[in-house]
Amino acid sequence: MAQKKTEVISVEEARILLANGTKAKVKVKRKKSEADRQLEEALQQHRIKELNKATGEEVVAEHRFHPEREWRFDFYLPQSRVAIEVEGGVWTQGRHTRGKGYIGDMEKYNSAQTMGIKVLRFTPDQLLKPKALKVIRQALNQQ
């Protein structure tokens, strides 16, 4: 059986299709507002600042680590070669917990390990909690 292709459309396009009685399955990609982008940037800067403070090391966000692939770490401490990944959507069947995304993450993390990079994984809620910061500091002290 041929697999149906899902087309990504805007919210407005989806509204028009639904208003016209279209029953096709559509995937809506919402555009982020400027306020959403500013909030995400503020959160990212806060996380960098707190990780810098907790580790005493430079923290780089969205670090591209692989010479051939487009893979990035959410946070990377180049001095100690420790990567920190924030795994979102663990309770809502997000990308990291579904088959293709999970397998892709395994490939990424295994590749990083073979390059001598330690990879630590946390949920967004865990990242800046004392327990997670302790694990990060332990990883740094094992260098």
Task: Quick: pLDDT tens for 98-107.
Answer: 678 788 889 9
Q: State the greatest distance between any 2 C-alpha atoms of the chain, in Å, as a whole number.
A: 62
Query: How many Å apart are CA 46 and CA 50, to the nearest integer?
Result: 6
Q: Residue 98 maps to which CATH number?
A: 3.40.960.10
Number of domains in the chain: 1
Three-state DSSP class for 88? coil
Range of the domain at 82: 55-142
Using the predicted structure, report yes or no on whether residue 45 has a pLDDT greater than 80. Answer: yes
The model's pTM: 0.72
**Within a domain: 127:** yes
Mean pLDDT of the chain: 84
